[in-house]
């Protein structure tokens, strides 16, 4: 079970968690001795700058580059995947691109009906899978992360994944932005209530 935290003060509460921060926060956290993952939101306006953004993050001390697309077209997703492959090779850094192949999604759809990783937001709120699913939050991190997880009912998140999966399977591109399908589906379900 993976856990990522958005503020280093929660690292002690969740041993083994990954510190994930924005580009402008990398240098300070790396200087403090943390292993830092930078989260870059890929939007139509910054696709051409992706390589430079990733190089800047590595220069600031990021040990991992994670890219999360929002509203990016199919061609730009493929372009970004190629650029991130170059970043991994040229900068010798771990890269995570928050997309999946449509072929994998179709071959093993049940692998996408899951409730982790967990995200501990800056205020201590724990949400499943990714930011944008606050309506499915486990609660605020208190004395025990494990107790919070044990007391939580994951079925609504699995139901959300099943609905999003049906929509994602209809996506005809070679790469599918799974997290984007999840957050969009969650927003649509919330607005239809």
Tens digits of per-residue pLDDT, 107-155? 999 999 999 999 999 999 999 999 999 999 999 997 789 999 999 999 9
The answer to whether 120 and 17 are in contact (CB under 8 A) is yes
Whole-structure pTM value: 0.90
Query: How many residues can be counted in the chain?
Result: 193
* Count of helix runs (H) and strand runs (E) in the chain: 7, 10
Q: Tell me the average confidence (pLDDT) per consecutive run of 10 residues in the chain, 193 residues long.
A: 92 92 96 95 95 95 96 93 93 94 91 94 95 94 88 96 92 87 92 64
């Amino acid at each position: 079970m993976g856990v990522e935290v958005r503020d280093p003060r929660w690292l002690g509460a969740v041993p083994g968690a990954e510190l994930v921060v924005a580009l402008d926060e990398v240098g300070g956290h790396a200087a403090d001795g943390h292993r830092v993952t930078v989260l870059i939101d890929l939007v139509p306006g910054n696709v051409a700058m992706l390589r430079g953004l990733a190089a800047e993050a590595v220069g600031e001390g990021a040990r991992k580059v994670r890219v999360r697309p929002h509203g990016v077209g199919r061609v730009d997703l493929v372009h970004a995947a190629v650029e991130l492959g170059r970043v991994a090779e040229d900068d010798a850094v771990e890269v995570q691109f928050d997309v999946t192949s449509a072929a994998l999604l179709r071959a093993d759809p049940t692998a996408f009906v899951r409730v982790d990783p967990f995200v501990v937001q800056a205020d201590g709120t724990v949400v499943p899978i990714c930011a944008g699913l606050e309506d499915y939050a486990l609660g605020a991190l208190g004395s025990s992360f494990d107790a919070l997880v044990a007391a939580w009912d994951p079925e609504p998140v699995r139901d959300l994944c099943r609905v999003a999966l049906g929509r994602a399977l209809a996506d005809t591109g070679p790469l599918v932005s799974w997290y984007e399908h999840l957050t969009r589906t969650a927003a649509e379900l919330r607005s239809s209530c």
